[in-house]
Amino acid sequence: MKFVVSSTELLSHLNAISKVISSKNTLPILDNYLFQLEENRLTVTASDLESTLITSLELDNTEGTGDIAVPAKLLNDTLKEFPDQPLTFKFDLDTFGIDIYSENGKFSIVGQDGDEFPQLPELNEAAASTIQVPHDVLQSGIQRTLFATADDELRPVMNGIFLELGNNDLTFVASDAHKLVRYKRADAKAEVESSFILPKKPASLLKNLLVKEDYDVKLQFDEKNAFFTLSNFKLICRLVEGNYPSYNSVIPTNNPNKLIVDRLEFYNTIKRVSVFANQASNLIKFHIDGNQLVVSAQDVDFSISAVERIKCQYEGEEIEIGFKSTFLLEILSNLSSSEVRVELSDPTRAGLLLPAEKDFDEEDVLMLLMPMMINA
């Protein structure tokens, strides 16, 4: 088996799929890429059992067919040292010897039997759903919600993004019980209502791949796995089992106190003032009255404090409420509008943060943050 390939093109594809390989693989074969050559197409697969990434390259100069497992780290480290040039790969499928010929040299490594690589899961056609999702919708949905996922061993359903496919929209939801993000897109919908929980790792891998994508993504899923087909990549991942909590029930609907403030000014003020917050709690206080928002923090142990005032538009009663500054900064950095609207009911109930103006009509973003107790 033999083929010729551009060193930089191969490295580009390998770098994209190498991120799926775990540093603590239970099976030694998973430290390898699976190379499969058929006619003029080279298919390369990387997996950690839970998630699998597949890429393919069209080649002009090939001989033979077959598959072989190639050490991933060694191959990546080798390719990084080459300038852009054609490389010739020769494989002995009996001894699993691999020779790489460059313009001036030869490099030999030893692979493994490709048949030992785990078989890919197959889609249960009888229980499967299929939808074409615009690449920018999927990328935005993951980008806006991924930061809010949890790391909770006791509640694994919280450790992923909940995708709800409806007849009128596509909804992405993530929550760690302290903050919640709901992102709706009306320009993506499904014929049949369905839902699944996408784990955090494949969501992160997908986000990185979608940045360079130009076409709609084919999404297929059954009760166990999801299949995302892109132009040059395919991601297969095992879904989180279980039922996602009823997120709509925790979103407060009656919020008489409404604040509109410049998002960037709000973000920078919180960032400055939070330096003076207690490092354990990261508590930051808001006192809102009239058209003035007072942001304050203190650390009694070190006798330090900070206060800063911001002009705002406010409708409602005078209120004082506390939030964890780190969570608030995360939320504000994931809102893209120039102004943010904060809706509050009382100091013990969750606050809502929304864009004051929508970027476009098809997008609906809502972010929720639970308050913290303000010690008297």
Share of the chain above pLDDT 90, in %: 85
Q: Quote the pLDDT of residue 269.
A: 97
pLDDT score at 360 = 67
Is there a shared CATH topology between the 2-116 domain and the 251-372 domain?
yes
Q: Is 90 exceeded by the pLDDT of residue 354?
A: yes
Q: Is the pLDDT of residue 190 over 90?
A: no
Mean pLDDT for the stretch of residues 140-145: 95
Largest CA-CA distance found in the chain, in angstroms, rounded: 80
pLDDT score recorded for residue 359: 67
Question: If you average pLDDT over residues 338-360, what whole number do you get?
Answer: 90
DSSP 309: E
When pLDDT is averaged across residues 85-107 and rounded to a whole number, the result is 94
> Among residues 142, 187, 214, which one has the least CA distance to residue 358?
187
Q: What is the structure's pLDDT at 189?
A: 85
151, two tokens: 């790391």
Fold of 251-372: DNA Polymerase III; Chain A, domain 2 (3.10.150)
The mean-pLDDT minimum among 32-46, 160-174, 362-376 falls in 362-376
Architecture in CATH for domain 129-249: Roll (3.10)
Q: Is the dihedral of CA 103, 108, 114, 118 positive or negative?
A: negative
Q: Which CATH entry fits the domain spanning 2-116: 1.10.357.10, 2.60.40.10, 3.20.20.70, 3.10.150.10?
A: 3.10.150.10
Write out 185-219 in H/E/C secondary structure: ECCCCCCCCEEEEEEHHHHHHHHHHHCCCCCCEEE
Give the integer Cα–Cα distance in Å for 364 and 359: 9
Residue type, 90: K
Q: How confident is the model at residue 375 (pLDDT cuts 50, 70, 90)?
A: low
For residue 75, the tally of other CB atoms under 10 A from its CB is 24
- 283-312 pLDDT, tens digit each: 999 999 989 999 999 999 999 999 999 999
Domain ranges of the chain: 2-116, 129-249, 251-372
Rounded average pLDDT over 195-212: 94
pLDDT value of residue 26? 83
CA neighbours closer than 13 Å in the CB half-sphere of residue 376: 0
Return all residues near 222 (Cβ < 8 A) that are at least 6 apart. Answer: 123, 124, 127, 128, 129
Per-residue H/E/C for 29-71 = HHHEEEEEEECCEEEEEEECCCEEEEEEEECCCEECCEEEEEE
